[in-house]
Every structure is written in C-alpha cells, then in structure tokens.
Structure 1
Amino acid sequence: MPEWIHIVLRSLAAVAIIFLLTRILGKKQISELNFFEYIAGITLGSLAGFISTELESHFMHGVTSILIWFLIPYLFEFFTLKSKRLRSWVEGDGTVFIKEGKVLEENMKKERYSTDELLEQLRKKNVFNVADVEFAVLEATGELSVLLKKENQPLTPKHLGIKIGPEQETQTVIMDGSIMDEPLATRGLSREWLQTELEKIGVTIENVFIGQVDTYAQLYVDVYDDMLQLPQASQNELLLATLKKCEADLALYGLATGQETMKRMYGELSKKTAQIVESVTPLLQR
C-alpha cells in the first residue's frame, strides 16, 4: 500500500480520535482555557500530527499517548469540581487590578501586566477613562472583568422605575425561503398567521432570506432583493395611538358634560387610561 494512503488513513483516525475526546472533555476545552487545559490541548494536537505522518512509529503507541493526555485533564476537571483548593491550584484565581476606583500597581506587577495592557483591555470593554471604573479583576482565563461606578453605568428600565415584561428568545421562522415549523410552534404561531403577516408587507415566502419573530410577535423580514423597501410593522404604534386617543376622548367628554357625576366618572376613567398608556409605552415603543 502506498505511503500516502497510510498517511491519509492515520490522519483520518487521528482526527476522529481527537474530535471524540474533545467532545467528551466538553465545550470548556475549546473556549476559555486555563493553564493546564492550554498545555493539554497543544500536546494533544502535536501528538495527533505526529502519529499521522510518522509511519515508522507504532500507531497504537501514539493512540495510547493521546488517551493518557486525555485522561489527565479529564480527571483533573472531575476532581476540581469537588475541591476549591485544587481548583485554585490548577485553574488559578482572579487578580484584582482596580478596587474602589484605585489601581493596584502591585497586583499588576505580580501578573507582569503593563499599564498599556490594562488600558487596552479597558478599551475592549468600551471604557476609555480609568476614573469611571469601580472594580476590575483579571480572571484566571486572562479576561478582564470590569464594573463601572454607579454614576457611569448605563440606565436601565429599573433605574427609571419602569416595569418591563419578560423577554423571550427571538425565533427564526423563515430561513432561506423555507418556513421553520418548530420555531413557529414554540412561539405558539401558525403558518396561516405567518402568511397573513407576509401579505401585510407584500412579500412571498420564497423571496424571504430570513424572518424572525420577537417577544411581542412582531415579524422582522429580510428579503433577497436588497433594493426592495419593506413597510415597517406599525401595529404597536397604532395601538399606542388608539390608547392615547381614548384618554383624550374621555378627558374631552368630561369637559363637555354638565353633570358633575359624569364629569367625575370621565375624569377617573381618563386618569386610569393615562396610567395604562404610561405602563405599556415602553413595550410598544420598541
């Protein structure tokens, strides 16, 4: 058998073995690696390359070596889940760089971290002023976690006292001109509803590149023809305008009537409608 066929077969076997072992080790092995996982990953790749091309070496010897390097991080990962001390020794602990707005230079020296590197990592977090930072820690994975001071944190509905309903995952209901039935069912919608929404904006399913439904059952559509301008969904705006009109009408009826009882009733209804409008406005103005 020609040598190149041997290399092909050995390479395919090595790829299959590495793929299987990586799947067993889990997603952590291919995301944020600690020191030990980094070393194990490099070694496993080197061994796979070695047994693929070194025809004079015994293939099973290389497989045995790969299995050993697989078992070591696998067992360490199992035991570190049980022991905080072992986890700290293997994975390391985070190092505080900024505390209460003060840069801790000694901690940076221990990690051999320069000021330029700190500023670079802050910029990656969209922080360009060190004075805006309350707390920053270098995680064991090498990523810098940053907490801004209260006055520099972005406003949220909670800060404004606005209650927001729970968000649901956006579902992709059309992909490449085909309807995705499972996401539709997940959102409790039907093909008939989808067809009706598409008719409102004047497109067919075959012309849709991607279609998504958000928490509030609003359909977003992107078509293949980038020059085609689609009308924006306006159901929310119409509902909000109708509620505001009801509020104004009730207030007007209260001013127009001459009966005190009716005037008070219309006034109370107008106030209640205004409260409803205020509560649903953040949901409808999206």
Structure 2
Amino acid sequence: MPIWLEVIVRTLVSAVILFLLTRMLGKRQISQLSFFEYITGITIGSITAYLSVDVDTHWYLGIVSMAVWFLVSLGIEYLQIKSKKARDLIDSKSTVLIKDGKIMEENLKKEKITNDELLEQLRKKSIFQAAQVEFAVIEPDGQINALLKKEYQPLTPSDLGIKIAPEPEPQTVIIDGNIMDEPLATLGLSRRWLHTELEKVGVSLDNVNLAQVDGYGQFYVDLYDDQVQVPQPQEKASLLAQLKKCEADLEMFALSTDEASAKQMYGTCSEKLMKVINEVKPLLS
C-alpha cells in the first residue's frame, strides 16, 4: 500500500475511534474541562495525530494506548460520581473570591487570578462594582459565579407579589422552508392552520427561514428576505383589549340602568372582571 494511502486510512480510522471514545466518555469532555479531562483530551489527541502519520510504528499500539487512556478516564469519571472526596481531589473545590463585597486577596493569589481578571469576569456578568457582590466563587472548571447583594438584584414578579404562570415551551414549526409536523401535533395544530397564519402576515412558505409558535399560540416568523417587515403577533394585545372592552361595557350597563338588582349585578361583574384583568395583564402585556 502506498504511504499516502496508508496515512489516509490511518487518519480516518483514528478519527472514527476518537469520535467513538469521546461519545462514550460523555458530554463533559466537550464542556468545561477539569484538570484530568484536559490532560486526557490533549493526550488522546496527540496519540491520534501520532497514529495517523507515523507509518513506521504498528497501528495497533496506538489503539492500545488510546484504549488505556479511555479506560483510565472512564474509571476516574466513575470514581468522581461515587465519591465526593475523589471529586474534591481530582477537580478541586470552588474557592471564594468575594464575600460581603470584600475581595479575598489571599484566595486570589492561591488561584493565580489578578484583580483585573476578576473585574473582567464580573463585567461579563454585567457587574461593574465589586462592592455590590454578596458572594463570588471560582468553580473547579474556572468559571466565576457571583451573587449580587439583595438591594442590587433586579426586581422580579415574586418581589412585587405577582404570580406568573409557567412559560410553555415554544415549538419550531418551520425550518428552512420545511414544515415540522411533530411540533405542530404537539400544539394540537394542523398544516391548514399554519398556512392560514402565513397568509395573515402575507408571506409564502419558501421565503420562511424559521417560524415558531409560543405557548400562547402566537406565531413568529423570520424570513430569508430581511427587507420584508413582518407584523408582530397581536393575539395577546387583542385579548387584553377585548377584556377591557367587556369590563367597560359592564360598568356602563351598571351606570345606565335604574333597576337596583341589575345595577348591582353589572357592578359586581365589572369588579370581578377588573380583578381578572389585573391578574392576567402581566401575561398579556
């Protein structure tokens, strides 16, 4: 076999083996790596490259070496799952960098992080003053996570006493001009409904790059032609307007009638509907 052909075959075989081993090791190998995973990735990659081009060595020796590293890495991952002490020893522990707005200089030196690097990581999280941070730690994977002090945290509906319903998962119903039947079925919708929605916004199916339907039934579409302006969904605003109109009609009926029982009935219904409007307004705004 010519050398160039042997190099091609070795490279393809190595790539397939490396792909299979990586898939078997799990998604952690392609996420933020621990110390050992970093070493394992470099070593197996180096062995793969060496196996591809070094035609003077026996190819099976490289595969044996890759298999040993794979088994060691698999054993280490199993040990980490079963033992916290092993996790702490192999991955190390998280380290506190800021506590109560005070930077822990000794811990910065321990992790070999400068003040500039710490501030840079905080700015990436939209935090520009270290004094606003209640707690910040560097995780074993090198990421810095920070918790703002209570007074600097953004307001949430819970802080205002507003109850928010769970947000249903949006479904992608068109990708690259092709209709996705499974997401449509999940929403209980049909192709006929989808074509009707496309007609409402005045676009054709072949011009649709991406289309989604949120949990409230609102239809969003992105077109290949960016010059075409697509109307924004109005279902929520329309429903809110209809509720307000109904409440206004009930209030008007209560003011226009002279019959006491009818006036009380319309007034009570108006108050109940206003309460409903106030509760659902955050969802429909």
TM class by smaller structure: over 0.9
Of stretches 59-68 and 148-157 in structure 1, the one that deviates more from structure 2 is 148-157
The Cα RMSD (Å) is 1.1
**Distance across 1 between alignment mates of 2:200 and 2:163:** 31
Partner of 2:153: 153
**Distance across 2 between alignment mates of 1:61 and 1:225:** 55
Q: How does 1:22-37 map to 2 (within 5 A)?
A: 22-37=22-37
Q: For 2:158, what is the secondary structure of its paired residue?
A: coil
The offset of 1:230, in angstroms, is 2.0
Structure 1: unaligned runs, 5 residues or longer: none
- The answer to whether structure 1 residue 248 and structure 2 residue 248 are counterparts is yes
Q: For 2:126, what is the secondary structure of its paired residue?
A: coil
Q: How does 1:124-163 map to 2 (within 5 A)?
A: 124-163=124-163
Which AA in structure 1 matches 2:84? K
Which AA in structure 1 matches 2:268? E
**Distance across 2 between alignment mates of 1:7 and 1:233:** 57
Q: For 1:81, what is the secondary structure of its paired residue?
A: helix
Of stretches 201-210 and 59-68 in structure 1, the one that deviates more from structure 2 is 201-210
Partner of 2:92: 92
Which AA in structure 2 matches 1:21? L
- The answer to whether structure 1 residue 206 and structure 2 residue 240 are counterparts is no
The offset of 1:4, in angstroms, is 0.6
The offset of 1:143, in angstroms, is 0.1
Q: With structure 1 as the length reference, what TM-score do the two structures score?
A: 0.96
Which AA in structure 2 matches 1:168? P
Of stretches 263-272 and 52-61 in structure 1, the one that deviates more from structure 2 is 263-272
Which AA in structure 2 matches 1:14? S
Partner of 2:177: 177
- Deviating beyond 6 angstroms after TM superposition, the runs of 4 or more aligned structure 1 residues are none
Partner of 2:64: 64
Of stretches 102-111 and 34-43 in structure 1, the one that deviates more from structure 2 is 102-111
Which AA in structure 1 matches 2:152? N
**Distance across 2 between alignment mates of 1:45 and 1:168:** 42
Partner of 2:76: 76
Q: Residues 87-134 of structure 1, C-alpha deviation per residue, up to 9 Å, x if partnerless?
A: 100111100111122211111111111101110110111111112111
Q: For 2:258, what is the secondary structure of its paired residue?
A: coil
Q: For 1:165, what is the secondary structure of its paired residue?
A: coil
**Distance across 1 between alignment mates of 2:127 and 2:263:** 55
**Distance across 2 between alignment mates of 1:32 and 1:168:** 30
**Distance across 1 between alignment mates of 2:37 and 2:177:** 43
Of stretches 222-231 and 58-67 in structure 1, the one that deviates more from structure 2 is 222-231
Q: How does 1:232-271 map to 2 (within 5 A)?
A: 232-271=232-271
Q: For 1:126, what is the secondary structure of its paired residue?
A: coil
Partner of 1:39: 39
Q: For 1:147, what is the secondary structure of its paired residue?
A: strand
Identity between Structure 1 and Structure 2 (%): 54
Which AA in structure 2 matches 1:182? E
The offset of 1:144, in angstroms, is 0.2
Partner of 2:109: 109
Structure 2: unaligned runs, 5 residues or longer: none
Q: With structure 2 as the length reference, what TM-score do the two structures score?
A: 0.97
Partner of 1:167: 167
Q: Residues 133-170 of structure 1, C-alpha deviation per residue, up to 9 Å, x if partnerless?
A: 11100000000011111121122221222222212222
**Distance across 2 between alignment mates of 1:109 and 1:146:** 18
